Chains A and B, each alone.
Chain A
Amino acid sequence: MGAKNSLAGLTVVEIRDGLRNGDFTVGELVDDHIHAAERAKNLNGYITETPDLAKDMASKSDDKISRQELGSLEGVPVAVKDLFCTKGIRTTAASKILDNFVPTYESRVTENLWGAGAVLMGKANMDEFAMGSSNITSAYGPAINPWKRESDGDDLAPGGSSGGSAALVSAGVVPVAIGTDTGGSIRQPAAFCGVVGVKPTYGRCSRWGTIAFASSLDQAGPITRSVHDAAIVLEAMSGHDRRDTTSVDRPVPQFEKFLSQSIKGLKVGIPKEYLSDSLPTEINKLWGDGGQWFKESGAELVDISLPHTKYALPSYYIVAPAEASSNLARYDGVKYGMRVSDKSLEQQYSKTRGSGFGPEVKRRIMIGTYVLSAGYYDAYYIHAQKVRRLILEDFNSAFKKVDIILTPTTPNESFGLRDKLDDPVAMYLNDIFTVPASMAGLPAISVPCGLSGTGLPLGLQLIGPAFEESRLFQFGEKLERAAEFSKQPSSYVG
């Protein structure tokens, strides 16, 4: 399906080399990616495309290149999850309630990307307000996973909430998409779409200008087709921001340097709690393969215990909705976005929010409001925050014994678009392996490592200690090399 000689499908490293060698211009590169997006329209990966802006940025980039001023992401086409505010460009959070909201400001993460020379191709589809694991909750219709089962041609979920981002990268529409991860929203769709996704340490990237879902958990991160690309992009996105006092003031390492570092003698933790009877054998087997590959690279496998793992997800479903219920109170039809007018202000609030938010967002606001309300706060919210500390302590003691932790990214492969609609809890269980690291604020990466029996991609997750993203890249590169994952999805357009 890919067009012959199209530059779409190149990785960041290949683009960097090609531009340095003068093999092509950014203008040509961007044109090919615009065309790739046209070929991939059926994936519904973008909410808003910005071809004119992209061409404009491309010509500025070409000027810079002619002056030998190359940023670390010079000319690289990037899709940005529609949760990042982009100045002068509609930003929707995939919600009706923000329809036609045009920020007058640029998020810090995207500002960093443009500063590094990246080119904005469009705003990627996502679950509404990043709440979901399927991209089905988007008010703009679901994004579609470029992968299909070998047995049928059914449309499958790309995962979520950064589903559009993962789908676009997977299909070769862009080499890089930026997502956000609150409980697994980068890693899970990356795994479902057979691409690399990184959630950095909480505090590594500024949250300024990123629409908040759950403030104590939200982190931006890259989705790419290689570990190497992810290292380059994360470095460009990261950094302290005085406007976000939860962003951390510490130097950003040159992540690329760690890719080639040996893991000989280092210890990989295998947490026993991630193994359950319901885990499909092929996922269990892939996990075992991952460990084997590390052993072959000279690392040592260590059995570890993270006893509170099973409580991460239910406590997450208190903390995240609680914060969300407050963060989303600002969508009231007064200052921006949609309004359902009424003579009574109270009615106007309720009608605006009742029809502006989709079912999953309303569900979470309701849960969040309930667990914070008088009489329930201690029993739910405080209790969950205490469990959260136990989860963090589990990881802290594990990292006294091991350098990194290896787990599956998801307990299952991608599923049909309509499969889990009527059971929210079944949907929540998608994040069972990704949420613990989120609750502890730790960095984690998902690397595509194999295919399921039905021919769908599966990922393995690496979790590192706080601010040790370098290790994710060091180990991730080994995993990637050993897995030799090279299959492309059926809807590949690069």
Chain B
Amino acid sequence: MVEVKNFVQGETGEWEVIIGLEVHAQVASQSKLFSGASAKFGGEPNSQVSLVDAGMPGMLPVINQYCVEQAVRTGLALGAEINLVSIFDRKNYFYPDLPQGYQISQYSDPIVGRGDLLVEVDSGYTRKIGITRLHLEQDAGKSMHDQHPNKTFVDLNRSGIALMEIVTEPDLRSAEEAGAFMAKLRAILRYVGTCDGNMEEGSMRCDANVSVRRPGEPYGTRCEIKNLNSIRFLMRAIDYESGRQVRLIEAGGSIDQETRLFNPDLGETKSMRSKEDSHDYRYFPDPDLLPLRLDSDWVAGLRERLPELPDAKAERFVKHYELTEYDAGVLTSETERATYFEEVAKGRDSKQVANWVIGELLGRLNREGISIERSKVGAAGFGKLLDLISQGVVSNSLAKKVLDEMFSTGEEAAVIVERKGFSQVSDEKQIEKYVQKVLDENLEKVEEFKNGKDKLLGFFVGQVMKLTGGKANPQMVNKILRDLLSK
């Protein structure tokens, strides 16, 4: 790994941007962390709320084993230490969407400790980002401020949903790195299936701690930008915030430690709370919950059953399928993509498959904004299309048209080829007739060719293809043309 310096230029010199992230990832569970209410997205107001989630008097939390398991699996996937004893603490503060008056979280003794994540940055280098910890905690409800001129509406459907808070060391040095980190983390969460990574629905969101310093100097004062719900917003917020801090310091000002919000419409961050309102959360161990003790054999079992992770998979793709690192990276960035590729590649030319999946299929999916698992073109059907190419039934260029058709209708490749009459003409006599016709109609050019203008071969091929609607087998057209022209 090369040490990449990532400095930004200010008026007075270079600045280094220091970023640490706190990512909230919703555990992909059916029910909430401490209650049996549904954790599904949406729902009528307060319909996915148990008496526990509503903070009714005398209600008690009972922990969801599945959520504990997913936190441990995520920790293992991040190569992190699993703490066999962890504690649930209460974080006390008043807010209408916090019905108990405290959030159950983990403070001093989280379930997962130190880990690392290797992040490939698009500009072509890799950085190792330290994971400080991962802990389990409850989500809050939702306050809506735009329903009424002087009232806030509170819906507790999200109250009590299980979140994993993943905290990084201040190891990130640019918006690009932060974006790449989020993408990689998201990929891993989706690989192990512990979080669906759906940022639009809020199942993954993050807070960014941003500060700037002159190279070699100690850390500057940081600001926390809250609740960034897309990678794009995260990157824009960091760029804006670091720029703001540099300009402020260069103008002789200083940074206040504060919480800020990013406004995507303005592309700006603005201060959220004043300082005198600083919180004292009075954390203490939740007396309703005993310490969480994990069995080391159980943890070892989870480790063994962990699926192959993106880095390992990419390495295997390079070795086994002889792909470039780039292609392997693209194909393994999502577990569904990798599975799709491997299914298609079974018994086929892996490089051709990689080219077609990356160049053709992913391109079309991206344009339409569809994920590969929702594509109408399944791996089996896609494989059959590639078979038609290698069997010479359809040409490369027509195959792309077939794929367009498959992409929108979901029909089988063979059916489309048949219906559209796309099958390649490979009958020698048939092709010979077409070639002869082209030569007969272009006697002057034939003469020129014979006088040494070799380039005209392409012209003749083109004419034959035009005549046959692209269906003639190009190799045969070439061969027959040469034969007839050399006569």
- B154 and A208 contact, CB distance less than 8 A: no
B282 touches A103 (CB 8 A): no
Which B residues are within 8 Å of any A CB, using their own CB? 51, 54-63, 90, 92, 94, 96, 99-102, 150, 152, 154, 280, 282-284, 287-290
> How would residues 178 to 210 of chain A score, 1 for a CB under 8 Å from any chain B CB and 0 otherwise?
000000000000000000000000000001111
A103→B280 contact, CB < 8 A: no
In the complex, how many residues of chain A place their beta carbon closer than 8 angstroms to a beta carbon of chain B?
Answer: 44
Partner of A329, one of B62, B94, B283: B94
| Residues of B with C-beta under 8 A to A85 | 56-58
A-B contact list, 5 entries, CB within 8 Å: A211-B57, A244-B60, A330-B55, A335-B55, A373-B280
Q: Find out whether the CB atom of A104 lies under 8 angstroms from the CB atom of B51.
A: yes
Cross-chain pair count, CB within 8 angstroms: 97
Q: Which residues of A contact B287 (CB under 8 A)?
A: 214-216, 246, 323
Distance in Å from the Cβ of B45 to the closest Cβ of chain A? 14
Instruction: Across the A-B interface, give the 9 residue pairs with the lowest CB-CB distance, nearest first.
Output: A329-B101, A372-B282, A215-B287, A216-B287, A330-B55, A209-B58, A211-B57, A330-B101, A374-B280
Within 8 A of B (CB), among A335-364: 335-336, 343, 345, 349
A24 at the interface (CB under 8 A from B): no
The yes or no answer to A93 lying at the interface (CB within 8 A) is: yes
A335 touches B99 (CB 8 A): yes
Tell whether A98 is near chain B: CB-to-CB under 8 Å: yes
Find the residue from B51, B58, B60, B283 having the highest chain A CB count within 10 A. Answer: B58
Question: Contact: B94 with A349, CB < 8 Å?
Answer: yes
Q: Report the Cα distance A101→B56, complex, angstroms.
A: 10
Distance of A345 Cα from B143 Cα, bound (Å): 13
A219-276 residues at the B interface, CB under 8 angstroms: 242-246
Interface residue ranges of A292-313 to B (CB < 8 Å): none
By the criterion CB–CB under 8 Å, are B94 and A372 in contact? no
Q: A323-B287, A349-B94, A374-B280 are in contact. Are A103 and B57 (CB under 8 A)?
A: yes
Query: For B60, what are the chain A residues with a Cβ–Cβ distance below 8 Å?
Result: 207-208, 243-246
Contact partners of A207 in chain B: CB under 8 A = 58, 60
B102 touches A326 (CB 8 A): yes
Q: Of B54, B58, B283, B289, which is within 8 A of A107 by CB?
A: B58
Check B57–A332 contact: CB distance below 8 A: no
- Return the chain B residue nearest A376 by Cβ: B282
* Neighbouring A residues of B51 by C-beta, 8 Å: 104-105
- Whether A329 and B57, one on each chain, are in contact in the complex, defined by CB atoms closer than 8 angstroms, is no
**Contacts A215-B287, A323-B287 known; A329 to B58 CB distance under 8 Å?**
no
Give the chain B neighbours of A214 by CB distance below 8 A.
Answer: 287
Question: Known contacts A329-B102, A372-B284; can you find 15 more A-B pairs with CB under 8 A?
Answer: A104-B51, A105-B58, A209-B58, A212-B58, A215-B288, A242-B62, A245-B61, A326-B90, A326-B102, A326-B282, A328-B101, A329-B101, A330-B55, A335-B56, A345-B96
- B282 and A208 form a contact (CB under 8 A): no
- Chain A residue with the shortest CB-CB distance to B63: A245
Closest to A217 in B: B287
A334 interface residue (CB < 8 Å to B): yes
Instruction: Choose among A243, A332, A374 the residue that contacts B94 (Cβ–Cβ < 8 A).
Output: A332
With A245-B63, A374-B280 known as contacts, the answer to whether A326 contacts B101 (CB < 8 A) is yes
Contact, CB under 8 Å: B284 / A334: no
Query: A377 and B58: CB pair below 8 A?
Result: no
Q: Establish whether residues B94 and A101, one from each chain, have CB atoms under 8 Å apart when the complex forms.
A: no
Closest Cβ–Cβ distance, residue B137 to chain A (whole Å): 16
**A168 touches B (CB below 8 Å):** no
**Residue pair A212, B57 in contact (C-beta under 8 Å):** yes
Q: How far is the CA of A62 from the CA of B44 in the complex (A)?
A: 44
Please, which residues of chain B bring their CB within 8 A of the CB of A336? 56-57
Docked-complex contact A243 and B56, CB < 8 angstroms: no
User: Contacts A246-B288, A377-B282; is A330 near B100 (CB within 8 Å)?
Assistant: yes
Report how far A381 CA is from B63 CA in the complex, Å: 25
Contact check: which of A246, A330, A334, A377 meets B154 at CB < 8 Å? A334
B290 touches A98 (CB 8 A): no
Q: A329 to B100, Cβ gap below 8 A? A: yes
Residue contact B56 to A377, C-beta cutoff 8 Å: no
- The contact of B56 among A105, A328, A349, A381, by CB within 8 Å, is A105
What residues on B are CB-neighbors of A246 within 8 Å? 60, 287-288, 290
Determine the residue in chain B with the shortest Cβ distance to A104: B51
**Are B92 and A329 neighbours in the complex by a CB distance under 8 Å?**
yes
* Chain A residues near B99 (CB-CB < 8 A): 330, 334-335
Cβ-based interface call for A126 (8 A): no
Contact with B along A371-409 (1 / 0, CB 8 A): 011100100010000000000000000000000000000
Q: Which chain B residues border A328 with CB–CB below 8 Å?
A: 101
Contact assessment for A373 and B154 in the assembled complex, using a CB-CB cutoff below 8 Å: no
Bound together, the chains give a CA A326 to CA B283 distance in angstroms of: 10
Question: Is there contact, CB below 8 Å, between B284 and A381?
Answer: yes
Q: How far is the CB of B455 from chain A (nearest CB, A)?
A: 81
Cβ of A91 under 8 Å from chain B: yes
Q: How far is the CB of A129 from chain B (nearest CB, A)?
A: 10
* Complex Cα gap A69–B94 (Å): 50
Q: Which residues of A contact B94 (CB under 8 A)?
A: 329, 332, 349
Chain A residues with Cβ under 8 A from B59's Cβ?
Answer: 208-209
Check if A369 is an interface residue, CB within 8 A of chain B.
yes
* A330–B56 alpha-carbon span in the complex (Å): 8
User: Is there a chain B Cβ closer than 8 Å to A12's Cβ?
Assistant: no
Residues of B within 8 A of A243 (CB): 60, 62
Contacts of B61 in A (CB 8 A): 245
Interface status of A435 (Cβ within 8 A of chain B)? no
* Given the contacts A210-B58, A211-B57, A329-B101, A334 and B280 also touching, CB distance less than 8 Å: no
Q: Distance (Å) between the CB of A240 and the closest chain B CB?
A: 13
Q: Cα distance A323–B102 when bound, in Å?
A: 12
CB closest chain-A residue, reference B58: A209
How near does chain B come to A98, taking the closest CB pair, in angstroms? Answer: 7
Smallest CB separation, B211 vs chain A (Å): 23
Q: Are B58 and A326 closer than 8 Å at their CB atoms?
A: no
Within the complex, what minimum Cβ distance (angstroms) separates B477 from chain A? Answer: 77
Kindly state the separation between the CA atoms of A211 and B154 in the bound complex, as whole angstroms: 24
Chain B residue nearest to A385 in the complex (CB) = B285
> Shortest Cβ distance from B189 into chain A, in angstroms?
28
Q: How far is the CA of A98 from the CA of B284 in the complex (A)?
A: 26
A85 to B63, alpha carbons, bound, how many Å?
23
Once bound together, how far apart are the Cα atoms of A326 and B284, in whole Å? Answer: 9
Considering the complex, give the chain B residue whose CB is closest to the CB of A369.
B282
Docked CA distance A246–B286 (Å)? 11
- Find residues 45-93 in chain A having any chain B CB closer than 8 Å to their own CB: 84-85, 91, 93
Q: A322 on the interface (CB 8 Å rule)?
A: yes
* Complex alpha-carbon distance, A373 and B100, angstroms: 18
Contact assessment for B96 and A245 in the assembled complex, using a CB-CB cutoff below 8 Å: no
A332 touches B282 (CB 8 A): no
Contacts of B100 in A (CB 8 A): 329-330
Cβ A101 vs Cβ B57 within 8 A: yes
**B284 cross-chain contacts in A, Cβ below 8 A:** 322, 326, 372, 377, 381
* Nearest chain A CB to B143 CB, angstrom units: 10
A373, B282: Cβ atoms under 8 Å? Answer: yes
Residues of A within 8 A of B58 (CB): 84-85, 103, 105, 107, 207-212
| Contacting residues, chain B, for A373 (C-beta < 8 A) | 280, 282
Report chain B residues within 8 Å CB of A244: 60
Q: Is the CB of B289 within 8 A of A245?
A: yes
Min distance, Cβ B200 to any Cβ of chain A, angstroms: 29
Chain B residues, CB < 8 A from A377? 282-284
- B51 nearest CB neighbor, chain A only: A105
Shortest CB distance B65–A (Å): 12
Q: Which residue of A lies closest to B281 (CB)?
A: A374
A74 to B100, CA, bound (A): 37
Residue of B nearest to A350 (CB): B94
Q: When A104-B51, A373-B280, A381-B284 are in contact, do A334 and B57 touch as well, CB less than 8 Å?
A: no
